[in-house]
Structure 1
Amino acid sequence: MKTYELFQRGETVGVFQYESPGMQKHMKNLKPTVFDDLIAMNALYRPGPMEYIPSFIARKHGDEEIVYDLPEMEEYLKETYGITVYQEQVMLLSQKLADFTKGEADVLRKAMGKKQIAVLDKMKPKFIEQASAKGLDAKKLEKIWKDWEAFASYAFNKSHSTCYAWIAYQTAYLKAHYPAEYMAAVLSNNMNDIKSITFFMEECKRMRLPVLGPDVNESFYKFSVNKDNAVRFGMGAIKGVGHGAVQTIVENRKEDGHYKSIFDFAKRIDLRAANKRAFEGLANAGGFDCWADTHRAQYFADEGDGVSFLEKAVKYGAKHQENENSAQVSLFGAASDVQIAEPIVPPCEDWGTMEKLSREREVVGIYISGHPLDDFNIEMKTFCNGVVEDFNDLETIVNKEVTFGGVVTDVQHRVSKQGKGWAIFTIEDYTDSFEFRIFGEDYLKFRHFFVINSFVYVRAFVREGWVNRDTGKKGDPRIQFNSFQLLHDVMDTYAKKLSIQLNIKDLERETVSVLYDLIKFHEGTQTLNFVVYDNAEKIKVQMPSRKNKVKISQQLLNSLKEHDIIYKLN
């Protein structure tokens, strides 16, 4: 049952053939309960038959009458609620209605599949005559054939669709019953595709499934699941950390247990397989965060001698191994008692969030422990009508104002031959990064926003390109920047009203108490509104609060979300 519930919720990201947004929407509406529903939707979700999906859904739920052109058709169309979906149904019906032989039915199937109109035209009179001879209504037979001709443009065989649906059911079963293991496998399968990794990590977040960064005491080459049922990043995803390095780390860990410190780690692993670059990649990606007494910045700090602590730790490990392997043994065969002093961990300040995240991205290609924009997630969802990715094809957004947010990741200030300032700057959001250019007065007006790691909210209008009077050729669309603002200020500027949505069915004393405390704690000047609704009775009541006003903030909205209270910002 869990598997069908997953389909019914449309939570099919990573499920073969059912993961597109359109299919997810139809799954939510269809609420499949039997395997035949999955087979049919797989066949229907393609150009042509898609127009039958609303009717298919309505018929399943009894909102539309199931009609058969002829009562004889029910036997083969019952499973698809009276809608012809498969080639096999046409084959069987042609045999039942017009006594086609199995060979003729197969010719009909091939003609439909390959859209052989001449063959279909030749078979039509035979179908009408033979079926009419059995006492069936000729007008209805004409309609059936006409429907079949339209069906020829999208005909799909059930056996094919069944195989796809069976694979989908198996993958959905794994996702429903073993979510962490399944997502770890999906992530491992896409390890070399950064965009897919980012996409599937978002799905893990939606599933409330923690995805933890790499850890030398837990990670393997690929993504895995730890004892707490969290997905653990694979060390193989880190630049400079190859198969050999991961192999020696994992083997030594299995043999002698967890590594107790960077020194224990350097002493035990094969330093020929894990070189200095591998150590640096692991440190930047957070692979050494398991040792609480050392933070990331310390591995790259030096005490004025130009040699980082990490290099010293590697040299310490190499010396230790050299000493172990040397021939300096006593007469009794005991190992030499020469002690090598551990290097001192240099004291220094830890990196800030942005430094950590940018270094993670440098070695893995994505942010692991978070995203720079996570603190502005609500602003990005509520007050932006576009994303950075939109600017990759300006033709799609011509004559539109696009509002979007992001972090400035690169800036180059330039001066033209005429001595005028201009800039190239890159903004990145959850979807993509884009390199913009800004000139003239716009540059003078907004240049103070072009600071690396600053979070900006931009309003940009995309104008049509100029038309060259001589050639008549149209130039590329141009981006006009209307305004820049810091993302920190967006909530104060644009959030005017908070509407709290309450289902009367879920309205309990505890919810009211939580709301009372939150509203008291976040008193302010912005309008508060309650919307109480009853889906069963189709009633919705707007209840503006005359007495209370609130200060709309990330903290308040996060608290509402934690308590599963739905809200809307205006």
Structure 2
Amino acid sequence: MFVHLRLHTEFSVVDGTNRIDEVAKAAAKDGQPALAITDLGNLFGAIKFYKEARGKGVKPVLGAEVFVEPEEPGNPPSRMILLVQGKQGYLNLSELLARAWTRNVVKNQPLCTWAWLEELGEGLIALAGAQAGPVGQAIVKGDDAGAARLALRLAGLFPHRFYLEIQRAGRPDDEAHVVSAVQLAARLNLPVVATHPVQFATADDYEAHEARVCISEGEILGNQRRVRKFTREQYFKSSAQMEALFADVPSAIANTLEIAKRCNLTLVLGKPQLPDFPTPGGMPIDEYFRVASLEGLEERLAHLYPKEAERDQERPRYLERLEFEINTILKMGFPGYFLIVGDFIQWAKNNGCPVGPGRGSGAGSLVAYALKITDLDPLQYNLLFERFLNPERVSMPDFDIDFCQSNRDRVIDYVKDKYGKDAVSQIATFGTMAAKAAIRDVGRVMDMSYTFCDGISKLVPGKPGMSYTLQYPPNPKKEGDKNNYALELEPLLAERVQKEEDVKTIIEMAQKLEGMTRNIGMHAGGVLIAPGKLTDFCPLYQQPGSDSAVSQYDKDDVEAIGLVKFDFLGLATLTILEIAKEFIVERHKGQENFTFENIPLDDARTYQLFSDGKTEAVFQFESRGMQGMLKEARPSRLEDLIALNALYRPGPMDLIPSFVNRKHGKEVVEYPHPLVEKVLSETYGIMVYQEQVMQTAQVLGGYSLGGADMLRRAMGKKKAEEMAEHREIFRAGAAKQNISQEKADEVFDLMEKFAGYGFNKSHAAAYSLLAYQTGWLKVHYTAEFFCANMTVEMDDTDKLKVLFEDAMKKFGLTFEPPDVNRGMYRFEPVTDKVIRYGLGAIKGTGQQAIEAIIAARDGRGAGPRSDTKGPFTSLFDFCVRVDRTRLNKRTLEALIKAGAFDAMNMNRASLVASIDRAFDFANATLANANQGGLFDMMGEDAHGSSTQEPELVEMVPWGVKERLTQEKTAVGFYLSGHLFDEVASEVRCFVRTQIEELLDSREPQILAGIISDFRVINGQRGRLALFKLDDKSATIEASADENVVNAHRDMLKDDEFVVMSGRLQLDHFSGGLRVKVQQVWDLAAARAKFGRYLQVAIGDTAPDVQRLVREFPPRRQETEQGEVLVHGLRVRMGIRCKAGQGQAVAELQLGEGSRFFPSDAALAAWSAQAGTGSVNVVYDAG
């Protein structure tokens, strides 16, 4: 019998393709009594392995292959195996790995020092590491004395727990090492153990493993110079194979069993272990929890019901609910959890870090509301505690807490200070190879073209929120198989796999790697607080270059070992509200104590904003589809917003029309049964929330709310056997209410349907409150709303542009342009209707540079004029006064292009050309000042050039197009005007529908606008151009196929004006429209296409028609059918003749021979020859 004591799984990340479930199954099938996991430098997969092995009846041995620091600097590190014997060994290995990752990473390798091995060796069995270990390295070098010395040293560090390790894995030096190691063991009286470096499951997996290694190393599989570190023999061998391999060293096989017997770690899983919460005066925690909850409730009631009589009347129902919750929490042993969360939330609120009103099911707890963890009264909105913490199912409570994004880290630092830095960390996440990425990665290491691989990967469906697998779909499918098989869903992919060998090779290789751990990241919000050192529970990992340690276990595994996860999530909306609050307090008298918690929740103007769909940048309600829904629904209370928020998602979205019609009396409100009218009345008889499913089960089926939550969960899992049991329970409960079995089944089926996509009401309520607050802000403090939003979004120019246009078009705000003499880093409200543009939003600036500019304006600058206060007088004065260690030429150029110097000089071209001169002048001025005015003593002629401001470089000012184009490079969009303005009056004569007015239609549409964000990608059917079309009213996404791109490549580029025809399509991602372009014209071609004729009013001279037609002939185009099309305008002449005291007007329509191509140059020529007359293109009347 043999036990594998060396195994790399997928969690070694850089190599290893063993999936934990597969190797545990292989060991069990082979009858191996135990199996070790020894991933490279980590325990990432240890808990998953522990549970999986035990589940298969195999004893799990936890361990790791660790890097050991070289004795002599300059030598490479060595590697050895450390195996855990028991609890002490687990603690020591965790500490060793944590120290290595957080203190001693060299070239991405976490090195253990010899001193640490000496300090933390207890409870660990050490295997020498074969050729890669300290002893093995010496043996390979032929240093027998060194090998003996190191072996004795390690035997001293691990007394009776050190084994010389031998391997036969098909490497050239294996046999020589085995002979030397066995001889050394005999000489030193040390035991030997046989291991096999298992890297992959079966011999057939060798190529896939090599591909994984190449992906990690950025190598090509076929590269002959690539160092091949692994052999085909490194698969999971059976006991019989290993016994045959080491038949000459039977003790080496026997020792694998001996070591396995010595390793007896038992982990206590699933038992939560919270840190101790310090209570005042050492009061028992249960008592303090009750006192704090009751006191907190009284504070809340005083705010909810200011009148004492009303408060006394309402108090009993609150106390009843509070007592129930307190007793449940105490019974389940979680008072410390609530107190810990309440404590850091209260600290955040008291220290300028906004906290969200609630998130997830936690908003259903009255205790949470009393402890100020949440800010939503659960009784007012009929939220259920049992949806958060089920008394009939013991599981950890889990509050998700939203913090202001920019202050979140401060709260985490507070927690570290309170509970100890070594007790707090964030949580690891394991990034895996998804189907598309696996195809691209495999294709790259197989040296196939990117275009080819990208084309295959794009055949894998990519619907947002869905995952797809490359595996072959089973035939027949097993019941409950929820996999989305790409080869089943995309016939073209399946066809190519069948017909193309290269495609089949890539897909089958990618199948073996799909889903494997690819990289280690950090959980978005999860924070661990341990009751002591974290390494007493799990090892830590620190990404090279980062200063934040994370657990080596993911969120599921840290919870399994008893650590409690607290979710600290960053929410930009809270940052926006905080910035707006600062502006409100600063600008508005009497608002010094303003808080969003005190705003009225029945404000008619706010609900009108929602009803008008003017919810751009309003939390949760900003999408175009949501805006359309709001216009139809016309919400008039917070309950409506909560319901609409819950309904607007796949599945329940189909219920929106019925909800809207019932709300406005256009459809009869019906209930599944009269007894549930109270439960469903607020949503007009429609089950919208999971809580309503639970309450229906309670009212009709006699369930407790805890039992109803179990029913809801069972319905979500759709397990037939479980559902049949619950149906019988529901029938029995309904029968007691005199409800027939037929009616009970009808309601049960309805509940089952809604449980599948019903939404968590507590979450919808908390987030809808936040949405209401942002909507209220937009109505009552509009300038502050836009300033706060634009400040937070200043790095996203697409969002900035949307906000900029929304502010001006729908809310009548104006913007002061960027100005180095007045602007701040943030967007600032000047009046209720005027916003000063934030300098930080100019690309290429940055906060440091803007702060340096503001400091110089305030007399805190640098250089010889550092104490000069007030506005800058010129470009040269600016460069002298601003600290140029924080300002470079690129930043200055961006500021000029954005118009931030226009108040000093409007010629941006001249300013840009003078940047070098301004920097030279600033350098000379500084040099002169540093030399104590030496040049001044020598007379003006000697230094005039260095102390007197030079002239700006003379340049022709930029034209409108150049100015706006340069402005767009600095700001991200046209700020002081729009390129469309130049042509708008003419274009609207034939393109009469603005982009913002477009409606979904099957008819081809004519659009006009300026192109932006133009790019070409390789699509499934050739090259595809993607771009945006902007006509100042709005922007629409557009696409053009390869034929269109090739025919119009001169026109299709950024900042070009085009007219196009195309078909509109619904963009499911944004909820808006997009256009598939069929034909493109520039303005001249559009005049020829849509114009009727050129109207020429002749003045004192008549134009030379023949010459003009000769210079600007019509364009001819031959169709595929051989037909010649002529593109040009005919001419009509208007002639005024004097007749006595009056005048007559005659109009002459010239024939086909007058056709010409109406370019701008042609129109200018016609106009020049018309003398005092005029020319204009006439289009069909609208």
Q: Normalised by the size of structure 2, how large is the TM-score?
A: 0.34
- Between the aligned partners of 1:273 and 1:73, the Cα distance in structure 2 is 67
Matching residue's letter, 1:429: L
Alpha-carbon distance, 1:487 to partner: 8.4
1:296 aligns with 2:296: no
Work out the number of aligned pairs and report it.
444
Percent identity over paired residues: 35
- Between the aligned partners of 1:410 and 1:130, the Cα distance in structure 2 is 62
- Between the aligned partners of 1:5 and 1:218, the Cα distance in structure 2 is 36
1:203 aligns with 2:777: no
Alpha-carbon distance, 1:248 to partner: 0.9
Q: Is the 8 A contact 2:777 2:785 kept in 1?
A: yes
Match of 1:180 among 774, 783, 806: 783
Which residue of 2 is the match for residue 497 of structure 1? none
Alpha-carbon distance, 1:84 to partner: 1.4
Q: Normalised by the size of structure 1, how large is the TM-score?
A: 0.67
- Between the aligned partners of 2:839 and 2:625, the Cα distance in structure 1 is 35
Q: Deviations over 1:155-197 (max 9, x none)?
A: 2121111121112112212222222222222223233333323
Q: Is the 8 A contact 1:68 1:74 kept in 2?
A: yes
Alpha-carbon distance, 1:38 to partner: 0.8
Q: Deviations over 1:213-258 (max 9, x none)?
A: 4211232334333357433333333344233321110112234232
Match of 2:852 among 237, 248, 251: 248
1:235 aligns with 2:839: yes
Q: Residue 286 of structure 1 aligns to a residue in which SS? A: coil
Residue 342 and residue 243 in structure 1: after superposition, are their counterparts in 2 closer, same or farther (change >3 A)? same
1:39 aligns with 2:624: no
- Between the aligned partners of 1:36 and 1:410, the Cα distance in structure 2 is 41
Q: Deviations over 1:378-437 (max 9, x none)?
A: 8589838998xxxxxxxxx9x9856443447899xxxxxxxxxxxx99986224687887
Residue 383 and residue 118 in structure 1: after superposition, are their counterparts in 2 closer, same or farther (change >3 A)? farther
Match of 1:217 among 801, 809, 821: 821
Alpha-carbon distance, 1:376 to partner: 5.1
Q: Is the 8 A contact 2:1060 2:1077 kept in 1?
A: no
Q: Is the 8 A contact 2:818 2:836 kept in 1?
A: yes
Which residue of 2 is the match for residue 320 of structure 1? 925
Which residue of 2 is the match for residue 383 of structure 1? 991
Q: Is the 8 A contact 2:688 2:758 kept in 1?
A: yes
Residue 354 and residue 294 in structure 1: after superposition, are their counterparts in 2 closer, same or farther (change >3 A)? closer
- Between the aligned partners of 1:62 and 1:426, the Cα distance in structure 2 is 45
Residue 9 and residue 118 in structure 1: after superposition, are their counterparts in 2 closer, same or farther (change >3 A)? farther
Q: Is the 8 A contact 2:798 2:972 kept in 1?
A: no
Matching residue's letter, 1:362: T
- Between the aligned partners of 1:376 and 1:114, the Cα distance in structure 2 is 60
Residue 84 and residue 216 in structure 1: after superposition, are their counterparts in 2 closer, same or farther (change >3 A)? same
Q: Is the 8 A contact 1:455 1:488 kept in 2?
A: no
Matching residue's letter, 2:1029: D
- Between the aligned partners of 1:141 and 1:60, the Cα distance in structure 2 is 27
Match of 2:966 among 356, 359, 363: 359
Q: Is the 8 A contact 1:457 1:490 kept in 2?
A: no
- Between the aligned partners of 1:230 and 1:450, the Cα distance in structure 2 is 36
Q: Residue 327 of structure 1 aligns to a residue in which SS? A: coil
> Which is further off, 62-71 or 236-245?
236-245
Residue 45 and residue 75 in structure 1: after superposition, are their counterparts in 2 closer, same or farther (change >3 A)? same
- Between the aligned partners of 1:226 and 1:37, the Cα distance in structure 2 is 35
- Between the aligned partners of 2:910 and 2:965, the Cα distance in structure 1 is 17
Alpha-carbon distance, 1:282 to partner: 1.2
Q: Is the 8 A contact 2:693 2:755 kept in 1?
A: no
Q: Residue 52 of structure 1 aligns to a residue in which SS? A: helix
Q: Is the 8 A contact 2:817 2:837 kept in 1?
A: yes
Match of 1:142 among 730, 742, 745: 745
1:350 aligns with 2:950: no
Matching residue's letter, 1:383: V
Matches within 5 A, 1:346-495: 346-375=953-982, 379=987, 383=991, 403-407=1006-1010, 429-430=1029-1030, 431=1035, 455-459=1057-1061, 481=1079, 485-486=1083-1084, 489=1087, 493=1091
Unaligned runs of 5+ residues in structure 2 are 1-602, 860-868, 935-942, 996-1000, 1015-1023, 1065-1075, 1093-1175
Which residue of 1 is the match for residue 874 of structure 2? 261
Matches within 5 A, 1:269-284: 269-284=882-897
1:59 aligns with 2:685: no
Residue 54 and residue 427 in structure 1: after superposition, are their counterparts in 2 closer, same or farther (change >3 A)? closer
Residue 244 and residue 277 in structure 1: after superposition, are their counterparts in 2 closer, same or farther (change >3 A)? same
Matching residue's letter, 1:284: K
Which residue of 2 is the match for residue 81 of structure 1? 684
Matching residue's letter, 1:164: Y
Unaligned runs of 5+ residues in structure 1 are 301-307, 330-337, 388-396, 412-423, 463-477, 495-552, 554-568
- Between the aligned partners of 2:1025 and 2:631, the Cα distance in structure 1 is 42
Matching residue's letter, 1:81: Y
Q: Deviations over 1:447-471 (max 9, x none)?
A: 9979996633234699xxxxxxxxx
Match of 1:5 among 578, 585, 608: 608
> Which is further off, 153-162 or 431-440?
431-440
Q: Is the 8 A contact 1:461 1:481 kept in 2?
A: no
Which residue of 1 is the match for residue 772 of structure 2? 169
Alpha-carbon distance, 1:130 to partner: 1.9
Alpha-carbon distance, 1:358 to partner: 1.2
Residue 16 and residue 382 in structure 1: after superposition, are their counterparts in 2 closer, same or farther (change >3 A)? farther
Residue 280 and residue 37 in structure 1: after superposition, are their counterparts in 2 closer, same or farther (change >3 A)? same
Which residue of 1 is the match for residue 713 of structure 2? 110
Residue 204 and residue 429 in structure 1: after superposition, are their counterparts in 2 closer, same or farther (change >3 A)? same
CA RMSD of aligned residues (A): 4.1
Which residue of 2 is the match for residue 523 of structure 1? none
- Between the aligned partners of 2:948 and 2:652, the Cα distance in structure 1 is 74
Q: Residue 979 of structure 2 aligns to a residue in which SS? A: coil
Q: Residue 267 of structure 1 aligns to a residue in which SS? A: helix
Q: Residue 153 of structure 1 aligns to a residue in which SS? A: helix
Larger Rg: 2
> Which is further off, 452-461 or 31-40?
452-461
- Between the aligned partners of 2:809 and 2:614, the Cα distance in structure 1 is 10
Alpha-carbon distance, 1:377 to partner: 5.8
Matching residue's letter, 2:909: A
Q: Is the 8 A contact 1:3 1:176 kept in 2?
A: yes
Q: Residue 656 of structure 2 aligns to a residue in which SS? A: helix
Q: Deviations over 1:49-74 (max 9, x none)?
A: 11221121122222222222322111
Q: Is the 8 A contact 1:4 1:33 kept in 2?
A: yes
- Between the aligned partners of 1:158 and 1:144, the Cα distance in structure 2 is 20
Q: Residue 214 of structure 1 aligns to a residue in which SS? A: coil
Matching residue's letter, 2:1059: Y
Alpha-carbon distance, 1:439 to partner: 9.4
